[in-house]
Amino acid sequence: MTALVLPGKALATAVQALPENALAPNRQAALARFLERGFPTTRLEDWKYTDLADVADISQRWLENGAPVPSAESIGARVAEIRAAIDIDWIVISNGVIADGMHTGGSEGLSIATFSELAHAPGYEHPLADLNAALLPDGLHIRVGANTMHTRPLGLMIVDGADSLPGVAQARIFIELEEGSKAQFVEYHASIGEADHYANSIVELSLAPGANADYVRIQRRDRRHTQTHRTSITLQESSTVRYSGFDLGGRLIRNDLDIDISGKDATALVGGLYIAGDGQHIDNHVRIDHRIGPARSEQEYRGILGGRCRCVWNGKAIVQPGADGTDAEQSNHNLLLSERSEIDATPELEIYADEVKCSHGTTVGQLDDAALFYLRSRGLDKQDAMRALTRAFGASIVSHSPIDSVADHLTEIVELRLSAFTDGDDA
């Protein structure tokens, strides 16, 4: 496959038009790196199932139209809808721009600022991080102070609009939990508009010794829109992260979750549910590096696929030399509701240490005929029987979401998404 690159002059013009702040020198360095490397292509092992040609095309057309930034007014109704559904404290990033007045201050022990205010230069270790750093207007820095118990979840709403012209937006968030602190976060992605749109976001989460974070990511982008997203988590001694991701929307979605376990007795509990229908492509890549033991990690992802769609799950756990006492488990289960649905599932274990406990497995199947017959014999019609079985398949991920205040909303939107299959709209 040929390289996926963008016109350098037009991209440089878009970078130059961004706000003149402390990020400007970093943007130029990131721009040079992206122009050298371009978008990842299917020649790379980690990208062989996900082609970003459409993303490159949207980005080029956006540049050709002068790299417009839509008004935040167009997404006001969507923002209000999400606020009404989940009653927590929200910070809104609309079309890559942090909403005025939404990032200042914070409750006791919680500080919120922008990258430019702190002169925080985002890193760019990956090609898509190069693009993000080059086109980032500003980033969000959140710090939870030592021994702070922040009991009310903090919402991070990333909402984009593309009404008439193609759109591209970047978002970046760095969250730092200091020693002994505890906090909960809800990251919510949504989009509206009939034009093509590409969103590229990065979240970094750093947990100091003894810190605890509960994290829920919800992706409900418009079915015409695309997104690449990377979450990087670092765990120090005796820290714990409980993470759940839910992918229900978007045309092409790629999620990378990297967890680095760098301290003894750290724990990473990871769950994910992806539901895909006609025309959707959802790719989840998870990598957990155990650099020291004892430590524990669990991965459980489930997928429900209907219509002509394709999903990818790659779960990797790497036990580095000297990480004795590691306990790493991973599983992936997929329910195919159509003969036209396709799943590429790859569990991987790389073990370079002794005295470890590691396991992995994956399954792919269809609705059980015997279970369907049983439910219908008890008076349920075919649609209700299918709905009950698909609901039960995804329920274990929904019920284990680590934040209670989003549980009702998750149940509602998962039910809504599954109804498209059982009603024949996404078959």
pTM of the model: 0.95
| Residue 340: Cβ within 10 Å count | 14
Alpha-carbon distance 244 to 403, whole Å?
Answer: 9
Range 385-400 average pLDDT: 85
Distance of CA 390 to the CA centre of its chain: 23
Q: What is the identity of the amino acid at 398?
A: V
Range 355-373 average pLDDT: 85
Residue 419 — pLDDT band, cuts 50, 70, 90? confident
Please give the pLDDT value at position 189: 98
**Peptide bond before 294: cis, by omega within 30 degrees of 0?**
yes
- The percent of residues above 90 in pLDDT, for the chain, comes to 81
Alpha-carbon distance 63 to 20, whole Å?
Answer: 20
CB 388 within 8 A of CB 380: yes
Alpha-carbon distance 149 to 211, whole Å?
Answer: 10
How confident is the model over 73-83, as pLDDT tens digits?
778 899 999 99
Annotate 118-153 with three-state secondary structure. HCCCCCCCCHHHHHHHHHCCCCEEEEECCCCECCCC
How confident is the model over 297-323, as pLDDT tens digits?
999 999 999 999 999 999 999 999 999
Task: With a cut of 60, say whether residue 274 has pLDDT above it.
Answer: yes
How confident is the model over 81-128, as pLDDT tens digits?
999 999 999 999 999 999 876 554 457 789 999 999 998 888 777 899
| Three-class secondary structure of residue 382 per DSSP | helix
How confident is the model over 31-80, as pLDDT tens digits?
999 999 999 999 999 999 999 999 999 999 999 999 998 876 778 899 99
Range 406-413 average pLDDT: 95
Pairing relationship of beta strands 89-94 and 97-98 according to DSSP bridges: antiparallel
Range 146-166 average pLDDT: 93
| Residue 335: Cβ within 10 Å count | 23
Q: What is the dihedral of CA 273, 301, 228, 69, to 10 degrees?
A: 20
CB 201 within 8 A of CB 158: yes
Alpha-carbon distance 218 to 187, whole Å?
Answer: 6
- Write down the H helix ranges in 300-381: 369-377
Range 379-396 average pLDDT: 81
Neighbouring residues of 282: CB distance < 8 A, sequence distance ≥ 6: 247, 250, 253, 255, 274, 276, 303, 309, 311, 312
Q: Counting runs of H as helices and runs of E as strands, what totals does the chain give?
A: 9, 19
- The percent of residues above 70 in pLDDT, for the chain, comes to 96
Alpha-carbon distance 50 to 122, whole Å?
Answer: 26
Please give the pLDDT value at position 104: 45
How confident is the model over 25-36, as pLDDT tens digits?
999 999 999 999
CA-based Rg of the chain, rounded to a whole angstrom?
21
Pairing relationship of beta strands 212-220 and 89-94 according to DSSP bridges: unpaired
Please give the pLDDT value at position 371: 75
- State the residue for tokens 């820290």: 239
Residue 334 — pLDDT band, cuts 50, 70, 90? very high
For residue 159, the cross-strand partners are: 94, 190
- State the residue for tokens 């898509």: 128
Pairing relationship of beta strands 197-207 and 226-235 according to DSSP bridges: parallel
For residue 305, the cross-strand partners are: 276, 336
Task: With a cut of 60, say whether residue 1 has pLDDT above it.
Answer: no
Residue 381 — pLDDT band, cuts 50, 70, 90? confident
Task: With a cut of 50, say whether residue 395 has pLDDT above it.
Answer: yes
Task: With a cut of 70, say whether residue 167 has pLDDT above it.
Answer: yes
